[in-house]
Structure 1
Amino acid sequence: MQQKFENHIAQNFPFLIGKNLLLATSGGLDSMVMVDLFHKLPFKIAIAHCNFQLRGLESFGDQRFIQDYAETNEIELFLTQFDTEAFANDYKLSTQVAARELRYNWFYELLETENYDYILTAHHADDNLETFLIHLVRGTGIDGLTGIPSQNEQVVRPLLIFSRSEIEQYAKDNAIEWREDSSNASDKYLRNKIRHNLVPIFKELNPDFLSTFQKTQNYLQESKAMTDDASFLVYQQVAKEKGTEIHFDLNQLKKLPNYKSYMFHWFNGFGFLAWDDIYDLMDGQSGKQVFSNEFRLLKNRDFLILSPLSSEDENEEYFVNKNQKEVKVPLNLKFSKVADICLVSNTTIFVDEDKLWYPLVLRRWRNGDTFQPFGMEGKSKKISKFFKDEKLSLIEKEKTWLLCSDNEIVWIVGIRQDERFKIKNTTKNILKIQLK
C-alpha cells in the first residue's frame, strides 16, 4: 500500500509536494494510517485533533493517545476541545452537523494562523460508498451521487482510492495502533446502519462490489462534467449578471424541453428547498417570490431575478450636514457648490441650495411618499405609482434611496430629481449632487 500511496500522490496530488500539511486525526484506524503514510515521506506535517466531548472519558482517552503519539514521533500537534452538544442546541443542528461545522471552522483558522497549506482527511473508498447510499436513501440529484470529492479547495482526501480492508491490512502489517470509537458499533446513525446492514449484502452479492461501484461513480462524474458544460452554455444564453443579481430570461428558458433540470442545476447551490414553488414562478404573477435563508428568486415580468437578501435595516436613515462635501454610506455621493450647471443626468443633479433644510436625510422610500417629478410643474405623484410606471422590479424598489429635505423628496437617487428644487433664473446658490 505504501508504494501505491506514493504513486497516487505523485500522479494525482503533485501540488502537495513541498507544502505544509495539516492532517485531521481522530485517533481512529483511518487517520492513524494516513499519518503513518505521510510520516514516512518527506513532507512537513502536523496533526490536528478535535475533542468533541461526546463520549465522556473515551474522548479524553483519544486526546491523550494523540498527544503521546505526536510526542513520540516528534510531530507538531494542535488540539482543541468543543462543547459540541451545547453548540448543536444553540444553533438547532444535529450533533454530526455541529461537529462538522466546529472542526472545519477550526481547521481553516489553523491554515491561516499557523501557515499551513492544506487540510488532509482520511476518507476512504468505503466512506465514499456509504455517502453515496446515504444520499440515495434521502433523495438527491447527480451531485449527490458523484461521491466525496478528492479535493475541495484546501481540503484534500488522499485515501479515497483505498478500501477499508486495505487500510486494515496496512495497519496490521505495520503494527499501527489506533483507538476504536465505541459509537461506530451503534446503529443510532444512518451511516452506521448502512455500514453494518446494507453494504455487507451488496458485497455478498458481488465480492468485487466496491470496485464496480468506483467505476460506476467515475461514469457519474463524467456525466456530471458533461451536464455542467451543457448547463454553462445554456446559462450564457439565458442569464445576465447585473451586480449582485442574476436575471434569467423566461422566454428563452421556456424554449428548453428540460428547463426544470437547468433551474435545479443553477439554483441548488443557493439553499432553495421549495422546488415546486420555484417551478411555479415560471407562470406565476409578477412580484411572486421564493426564499432560501440567504437568497431569493423574484418573478419580474419576463425574468427571474436571483439576488442575495439584504442585511440592511430598511428604516435606517443617514444624515448630510450643511457644507459636507461627501458621504460614503449608504451611497457614494459628492456635494459641491458651482457657479453654473452642465449636463443633468440620472447620476448628477443641480438644486437650489437656498431651498434646502439641513441636515438632509438619506432613507428608503415608504408607502405614501409623494414627489413632483422633474418636468411636471405643480403635479405631485406617489412614489409607488412612479415606480410602477418606470417598471422597476421589487428588488430595484428596495434598493432605491431618497434624498430628502425637511420630509420633502429632493431626489430619487439615480432615477429622478424633484421639480420643486430645480435651478431657476432667480437661483443664487447652486448645489451639484453627484452619485459616484
Structure 2
Amino acid sequence: MMQQQVAQYINKEKLFSQEEKVLVALSGGADSVALLRILLSLGYTCEAAHCNFRLRGEESNRDETFVRNLCQSLAVKLHITHFNTQAYAVEKHISIEMAARELRYNWFSEVREQSNCSVIAVAHHQDDSVETMLLNLIRGTGINGLLGIRPKNGNIVRPLLCVNRSEIITYLKQIEQAYVTDSTNLQDEYTRNKIRLNLIPLMQGINPSIKESLARTSNYLNEVAKIYAKGIDEGKKRVLTEEGILINSLLNEASPQTLLYEILTPLGFNSAQVEDVFQSLSGQAGKLFISNEWRVIKDRELLLIESTANQDKATPPTLTFEEKEYTPDFVIPHERGIACFDADKLKRPLSIRKWRQGDTFVPFGMEGKKLVSNYLTDRKLSIAVKEQQWVLCSDEKIAWLIGERTDNRFRIDDATKRIIIVTFN
C-alpha cells in the first residue's frame, strides 16, 4: 500500500521521526489532502496550515471552507491566513507565483515555530520533481538543477516524492476522500502548467514511461552530483581569496567556466551573466557585473566579489586638524596618513567626499593638473580600492587624496606663516 511506501521513504531519507510533530501545508488539493491522510494513518502527530491568497475569488473561499471541514472531521488543529498576494507582488516587483511562494513559506516558518512543530511537510510528488527538472533544463541550469526536487531542505520535507499523482488519486479513491481542484492548474498560462499539460504528453508520445525515466535519471544524477560537489569544493579552495577569484588559478582549472558558474550562481548571477564574466577574463580591467545583492569587478589579477548592500553606506574617514605657526625648523612628515598645508591657502570650511570621474588635482611636486582617475591607475590600485578613495576639498578644489597625495597648490613654502596638520586614522 501507498502508506507503507511513504513510511519507508520517510525513514530512508530521515525526514522526521515518529516522536516529532509535523506541520502539513494543506491547500485542499489532492496531493496535500493525501499527505495529511497518510501521515495521520501512519500515527504521526500533525497540525495543518492553509493560505488563502485571494487570487481566485469564490474558488479560494471554497478551498478554505473545504480545509476547515476536513480538519474538523479529522480533529487536526488548523492554522489559516489571508494574503493580499497581488499587492505584495507589485510592492516587491516580482511575479504572482514568486509572491505566493515567499508569502507562504515565510508564514509556514512562523507557524512551525509557534506550534512547536519540527518540520513543514509539503505535498510535492514525483511528477512535480520531473516538471522541475524539465523547467530548469529549459531555462538553463547546472547539474544541481537536473536533480529535481530534493526530499529535505532545512525544515521543509517532502514525503510524497516517492509516488506519482496517479497513485495519489488512486489512494484517495480507495479511502473515499474528497479533495478540491485548483482551476488554474488546468490552464497553460504559467510555464510549469505548459510543461504539465503540453510538453510531458508530447514526450509520452515518444516514450510512455518518460516520467519514470526522468525520475530514474534524476536519482542517478544525485549520486553523480555528490562527486561533482566534492570537486567543486576543492576547486573553490584553490581559486577563492577573501577579495574574490584568482583569475590565473581559475583558468588553470580543468573546467574553469563550470567552476565560475558554481561560484557565482549562488550569488544571483544567471548563466548568461556568468558567460559574460568568463569572456571578460581575457579583456581589460574595469568591467562590472551586477546581480541583486552582489557585484563582480574584473581587475588585473582578480575577479573582485563584493556585496552591494553597503555600497552607499560607506563612512567617511575621521580626520583630526591641528593649526599652528610655521617655523623654519618644522619637519614635514612623510607618512601617508598625515598631510600638511599652508593654512592661508585653504578656504574654509573644508569638506570630505568620494572622488568623482572628471576630478583633477595638482599632485605635490608637480605643476600641471592630473585626472584623479589617471593618478589612481598609475598607482596600480585595484578597482575596489579606487572606489573607496576619499578626498579633502578646499572649496571646489581637491587639497588631498586622503592617504595618497596632497595638492601642490596648498603646499608649505617660504611665505607660509601658519600651517594645518591633518591626520587620518
Range class of TM-score, shorter chain: 0.7 to 0.9
**CA distance in 1 between partners of 2:112 and 2:390 (Å):** 41
2:328 maps to which residue? none
2:387 maps to which residue? 398
Tell me, yes or no, if structure 1 residue 102 matches structure 2 residue 87: no
**CA distance in 2 between partners of 1:16 and 1:148 (Å):** 21
Residues 371 and 408 in structure 1, CA contact (< 8 A), matched pair in contact too: yes
How is 1:27-38 mapped onto 2 (pairs within 5 angstroms)? 27-38=28-39
1:385 maps to which residue? 374
- CA shift for structure 1 position 147: 0.6
Paired residue secondary structure (2:306) = strand
CA 181–427 in structure 1, closer or farther in 2 if over 3 Å, else same: same
1:330 maps to which residue? 315
1:308 maps to which residue? 307
1:173 maps to which residue? 174
**CA distance in 2 between partners of 1:403 and 1:32 (Å):** 67
Paired residue secondary structure (2:7) = helix
1:264 to 261, 265, 272: 261
CA deviations over 1:27-59 (Å, ceiling 9, x no partner): 111111212233345655332211122222111
Tell me, yes or no, if structure 1 residue 289 matches structure 2 residue 288: yes
Residues 353 and 430 in structure 1, CA contact (< 8 A), matched pair in contact too: no
Tell me, yes or no, if structure 1 residue 364 matches structure 2 residue 354: yes
- CA shift for structure 1 position 418: 7.6
Residues 6 and 162 in structure 2, CA contact (< 8 A), matched pair in contact too: no
- The AA in structure 1 aligned to 2:238 is Q
- CA shift for structure 1 position 364: 1.2
- CA shift for structure 1 position 235: 1.9
- CA shift for structure 1 position 15: 4.8
**CA distance in 2 between partners of 1:335 and 1:110 (Å):** 53
Residues 391 and 401 in structure 2, CA contact (< 8 A), matched pair in contact too: yes
Residues 112-121 or 72-81, more deviating: 112-121
- The AA in structure 1 aligned to 2:98 is V
Unaligned 5+ segments in structure 1 are: 317-328
How is 1:148-159 mapped onto 2 (pairs within 5 angstroms)? 148-159=149-160
Residues 260 and 274 in structure 2, CA contact (< 8 A), matched pair in contact too: no
1:274 maps to which residue? 273
Taking only aligned residues, the RMSD between alpha carbons, in angstroms, comes to 4.0
- CA shift for structure 1 position 153: 2.3
**CA distance in 1 between partners of 2:163 and 2:423 (Å):** 70
Paired residue secondary structure (1:265) = helix
**CA distance in 2 between partners of 1:157 and 1:24 (Å):** 10
1:73 maps to which residue? 74
CA 377–161 in structure 1, closer or farther in 2 if over 3 Å, else same: same
**CA distance in 2 between partners of 1:68 and 1:32 (Å):** 12
2:326 maps to which residue? none
2:252 maps to which residue? 255
How is 1:221-236 mapped onto 2 (pairs within 5 angstroms)? 221-236=222-237
**CA distance in 2 between partners of 1:268 and 1:209 (Å):** 29
2:196 maps to which residue? 195
CA deviations over 1:236-294 (Å, ceiling 9, x no partner): 2222123xxx2332x22223353222222222222233344223201122112233333
- CA shift for structure 1 position 141: 2.8
Paired residue secondary structure (1:179) = coil
**CA distance in 1 between partners of 2:20 and 2:83 (Å):** 28
**Could you tell me the TM-score, scaled by structure 1's length?**
0.77
CA deviations over 1:85-119 (Å, ceiling 9, x no partner): 44445555443233223322333344456655432
- CA shift for structure 1 position 154: 2.6
CA 298–432 in structure 1, closer or farther in 2 if over 3 Å, else same: closer
CA 401–428 in structure 1, closer or farther in 2 if over 3 Å, else same: closer
CA 357–32 in structure 1, closer or farther in 2 if over 3 Å, else same: farther
CA deviations over 1:378-405 (Å, ceiling 9, x no partner): 9986532331122122222222334556
**CA distance in 2 between partners of 1:214 and 1:11 (Å):** 17
Unaligned 5+ segments in structure 2 are: 323-330
Residues 336 and 433 in structure 1, CA contact (< 8 A), matched pair in contact too: no
CA 429–234 in structure 1, closer or farther in 2 if over 3 Å, else same: same
- CA shift for structure 1 position 135: 2.5
Residues 25 and 31 in structure 1, CA contact (< 8 A), matched pair in contact too: yes
**CA distance in 1 between partners of 2:197 and 2:419 (Å):** 87
CA 93–369 in structure 1, closer or farther in 2 if over 3 Å, else same: closer
Residues 294 and 308 in structure 1, CA contact (< 8 A), matched pair in contact too: yes
**CA distance in 2 between partners of 1:391 and 1:365 (Å):** 17
2:240 maps to which residue? 239
Residues 281 and 289 in structure 1, CA contact (< 8 A), matched pair in contact too: no
Paired residue secondary structure (2:289) = strand
Paired residue secondary structure (2:253) = coil
Tell me, yes or no, if structure 1 residue 39 matches structure 2 residue 40: yes
- CA shift for structure 1 position 121: 0.9
Residues 289-298 or 147-156, more deviating: 289-298
CA deviations over 1:288-343 (Å, ceiling 9, x no partner): 22333333222212322222335544xx8xxxxxxxxxxxx726758699xxx9x9
**CA distance in 2 between partners of 1:105 and 1:88 (Å):** 15
- Tell me the matched-pair count: 414
**Could you tell me the TM-score, scaled by structure 2's length?**
0.79
- CA shift for structure 1 position 421: 9.1
